[in-house]
Amino acid sequence: MDWEDADLWDDSSIRLERSARGWHLLLTTLYPPGVVLWIGHPHESGPGHESHFQTRDQWLDSHPGTPPCPFICPDTFLPGACHRHTAGVAASPYLVVEADEALGRKPATGGERAENLRRNLCILRWLHETLAWPLRAIIHTGGKSCHGWFERPRDTALQDLKALAPALGIDASVFIPAHPVRLPSVVHEKTGVKSRLLYLSPGVFR
């Protein structure tokens, strides 16, 4: 069943506005103040990149407008971490699901990108409504897909999704710990379209 933008906004438990502060809403809704979060570009990890690991409130206080960088990890990190990899992860509260190839291939035209996006949202709706995975956020990336932020499922459910992922066109990178995903309120470098929140619900730390 299709999930239109208007339906998503109605289903969202937090009223959303089209503003540059969508990333503030994401962080304050899904994370408590003291957790350490990585925000940056994918290559910004390791010695010399310590500034990309800050607490939630440090990020928000130092950047009241648009986010400083386009990517975040859904995982939280240990104090003093400077590497975006498994050893530095403190907790993995969320699994972010995207389907860049829901068509069965990379979409090449505007029509194919729109259809891929539609199918991507159908997959997220199926996980949420049929399989009862708690859904916490949906972000339209500004490209050909949407990211669904789910409470991390039990290992059995995760393994089931891994087995289905190739057939559904789900990006295998979503199963890699400390994988970067796009923040809302950032212009996509390929399309020029700003990423935005479509759905938001209080997260596991509530």
Which of 78, 90, 93, 122 has its CA nearest to residue 29?
A: 93
Is pLDDT larger for residue 174 or for residue 52?
A: 52
Task: Give the tens place of pLDDT for each residue, 88-122.
Answer: 999 999 999 999 888 889 888 889 988 998 999 99
Task: Give the tens place of pLDDT for each residue, 37-70.
Answer: 999 999 999 999 999 999 999 999 999 888 889 9
Cα–Cα distance, 116 to 1 (Å, whole number) = 14
pLDDT the model gives residue 18: 61
Tokens matching residue 120? 């991507």
pLDDT the model gives residue 19: 58
The CA-atom distances, in angstroms, between 83 and each of 49, 51, 63, 69 are 8, 11, 22, 17
Q: Are 140 and 63 in contact (CB under 8 A)?
A: no
Residue 153 has pLDDT above 70, yes or no: yes
Tokens matching residue 144? 């050909």
Cα–Cα distance, 199 to 14 (Å, whole number) = 8
